[in-house]
Amino acid sequence: MAHWLYKSEPNVWSWDDQVAKGDAGEPWNGVRNFLARKHLQAMRNGDTGFFYHSNEGKAIVGVVEVVREYYPDPSDETGRFGMVDLKAVRPLKRPVTLQEIRQEPRLADMVLVNNSRLSVQPVTDAEWAVVLELGGL
């Protein structure tokens, strides 16, 4: 099973918003980047990912799961981009901040550190375990 990281500005779509949707999940729409699309297309039902708050908070705050695989994004007029549905699984006991991630040698290769602008990123199994550990899970 693969792992991912999703970035969202909390004033647009926050972890609390995601939790409020419950098990029904919510489309992760609005991606307009080809590399991010590639990652979305590679996702499978049951894949888990981190929910990251950019700008405000700058921290990984929770775990989400893919509940619907890639399908067209109706908000994309060009028809080139799609989305997946995500549901909230559980929050981290404590948020893992970007600062902590930068200071952790085992996370030096995380995409978040090296290409912070990519909105949907792959996370390796090793990185997944380290972040869960830092987050108290």
Which segments of 44-104 does DSSP mark as H helices, in order? 98-103
Separation CA 31–CA 94 (nearest Å): 28
Closest distance of CB 40 from DNA, Å = 12
Q: Are 55 and 71 in contact (CB under 8 A)?
A: no
Stretch that binds DNA, among 39-47, 64-72, 95-103, 129-137 (CB under 7 A): 95-103
99, two tokens? 């600062």
- Of the candidate residues 3, 4, 7, 15, the single one contacting DNA (CB under 7 A): 7
Q: Nearer to DNA by C-beta: 45 or 112? A: 112
Would you count residue 99 as binding DNA (CB under 7 A)?
yes
Closest distance of CB 122 from DNA, Å = 14
Separation CA 57–CA 95 (nearest Å): 9
Would you count residue 77 as binding DNA (CB under 7 A)?
no
Which strands form 82-97's sheet, in the order they lie side by side? 26-27, 82-97, 59-72, 48-53, 3-8, 120-123
- Of the candidate residues 1, 22, 45, 55, the single one contacting DNA (CB under 7 A): 55
Residue numbers of the site for DNA (CB under 7 A)?
7, 9, 32-35, 54-55, 58, 98-99, 102, 115-119
